[in-house]
Structure 1
Amino acid sequence: MVDADQTFVIVGGGLAGAKAAETLRAEGFTGRVILIGDERDHPYERPPLSKGYLLGKEPRDSVFVHEPAWYAQADVELHLGQFAVAVERSQKAVRLGDGTLVRYDKLLLATGAEPRRLDIPGTGLAGVHHLRRLAHAERLRGVLASLGRDNGHLVIAGAGWIGLEAAAAAREYGAEVTVVEPQAAPLYGVLGPEVGQIFTDLHAEHGVRFHFGARLTEIVGQDGMVLAARTDDGEEHPAHDVLAAIGAAPRTALAESAGLDLVDAARGGGIAVDASLRTSDPDIYAAGDVAAARHPLFGGDRLRVEHWANALNGGPAAARAMLGREVSYERVPYFFSDQYDVGLEYSGWAPPGSYDQVVLRGDAAKREFIAFWLADGRVLAGMNVNVWDVTGPVQKLIAARTRVDADALADPSVPLDSLAG
């Protein structure tokens, strides 16, 4: 039973934390709700930072989860620009950087992730960037516009989703772009080599140069400014700016210092939570990028999903669990991306080595298709590219876990709904 005098504290001012606060109020919780965020901006969504906002097509205000006035109206106490430095479990309190203790009855850790840093010489130069926060996107927007005007060069380390979306944005501004990637194809860890080649071709058609099988070893500069980027195979690429897009690491320092169970970094890292998003402490929960939950659809493996939909849905699920509701977080992982005139939605989880077959449905040459990753005839993941209104059937196939005839799956005349059994 939740008492009206209770205090629920949320550490993390992103989408997961904001939606958790919203859900607590929507579910009728009348106690104190305190949201602590280390950025001074109100909670915002991250996808626009590498898409519409970065391209200058969406206004700054469009990124925020709620209007600023909403928090006061909902009686959510905001502590913005405040760092939580410790969780004192014995006192059931969060210690802030200024020494303040914020006591809790239930605590949600929605601390997100932080961009991985390049550990090479030259990263202190003025033209080295990351793209994770609103301030990063604001800075990078100006950089890309300037590079486009001056025919400048951007080198991107990493051909993952952020790297490719940033490459597309840079080309739309008119900048010269080189992407350095240690794997043999972009998005290798998600799509594998078969479908990754489609994105190589897409970006190459738009003038992006790829340097596969290599890593950056040094960023060369003069007078504090970037001049070039060197790779471990002896190449040197001219550069006025460098974007590090080599992934993100879960922000687990608070949980680790508090003695909560964590997942080993080799298995994706993150705070270990059960199906109700509860940590090893029954009064502490975790959601969003930082949470690694057992997923029944994928053999009970712990999945840490760093995408928008996980924050959007995980925050509310954790909030309901904090209120004592029965919660089993079993959503099929989902994300979307926009690059040039290509839009896509990806559902499921199929890292290289987990599948034995890739089935394409539609016209890959025209980039209007659905790709499916299968293991033993069962669909692990599906990605629709410029094909819309199929996410429901695709996710139904993944959740069904039944064997599917590959020829029928590849045949656009066979309704997807009919294949799930």
Structure 2
Amino acid sequence: MNLNNIHNIYFIGIGGIGMSALARYFRANNKNVAGYDKTQTEITNALVDLDVHVHFEDNVACIDSKFINKDNTLVVYTPAIPKTHSELQYFLGNNFKVLKRSEILGLITEHTFCLAVAGTHGKTTTTSILGHLMYECNVELTAFLGGITENYNSNLILRGTEVSVVEADEFDRSFLTLSPNLACVTSMDADHLDIYGDSLELIKTFEAFTKKIKPDGKLFVKNGLPLKGITYGIEDNADYSVQNIKIIDGVYVFDVKTPKAVLKDVQFSLPGRHNLSNALIALAMAVEYGCDTNALIKALASYKGVKRRFSYQIKTDDLVFIDDYAHHPEEINAVHQAVREMYPSKSVLAVFQPHLYSRTRDFIDGFAKSLSQFDEVLLLDIYPARELPIEGVTSSWLLEKISNQNKQLVSKKDMITKIKESDAQIILTIGAGDIGEQVKTIKKELSVAI
């Protein structure tokens, strides 16, 4: 398909973080863009500001008439949309060009020099660091991000079309539509078992992804993963490694050993060893692409982070409020490590909203263990996203398994009251559901109390 011949792009699920990045991209290329989403959010409001028509009722009658011409309209949908969705059924039933988001990403990037970031954790932060590094090195790139980066206040970095930087998403095997020149795998922990069934099938799919790399391309692998490639790691003997780590005024200062040199006194401000690892692999990919190392060191120091990834909302001597997207036990462990490293003597309250019934069921013991590390836990009901309830899988079940006795189940209505009753000096909101929509209100209420 030649996307140049398509004038109208209609998105079903336009408010999704990956879908909205594509919508921004096509709007920037002067296409007519519109779409449906079930909920009005800051993301959909930002699209409306770009002259994108968005509606929130699953109703064919709401579709703008210019998108009813199937000869020059492309329809894009996300796998999170149920097959019974009436607008999706309309477009399929009338033989429109209908493609998944991942297929469109494959089409956009296939004729570019593509750098792809894969892994069950760390994709969004790593991709946004990589996009920022290459932008600051004046590369003509388009970067599609799975989060809103603080440096650009967007999930799209757009300077040109020679190079593309993308998240290679394992959900629904989406990353198999890509053919990257440079790719990395940050992690392969079990996840999305509703799709894969077991961890072995997940690993096989990652192996299939590595075979999609172009013949003259390169694969970067976190040290210890069962894949062959250029290795990277923290304080080990990998091809690229971080050495001599110090924390000075809340900023990491370290050296980077590359296959050809040692980069001295590199600075990076995001807390947590997991973020240090994300910065390292982004740096390594940019070095292998050919960016100047001095420019990269300067760019890394100016990186500000991604919204909802260890995102500081309040930072005072008396109170710190941090919001994070973590929705897997290993991600919660990473948040815990980061907050304890930065604030070793302060008490921490974690407010967690589980995401998906299936994920809660599959990793119930891991969630309980990771949450038990905090001084206090407030637990919200499970956010269902695309799923129907599973009998017996509830937040009450998870609460019972948390060994820390300073814990309680709370409703969204009572959440802020319970947070304000806590004596904790560090407040964390954690989860991939709609808890992120509550952050502004929590920040406002806590700011009044300071």
Q: Return the TM-score normalized by structure 2.
A: 0.27
Higher relative contact order (CA 8 A, sep 6+): 1
TM-score (norm 1): 0.28
Structure ranking higher in strand proportion: 1
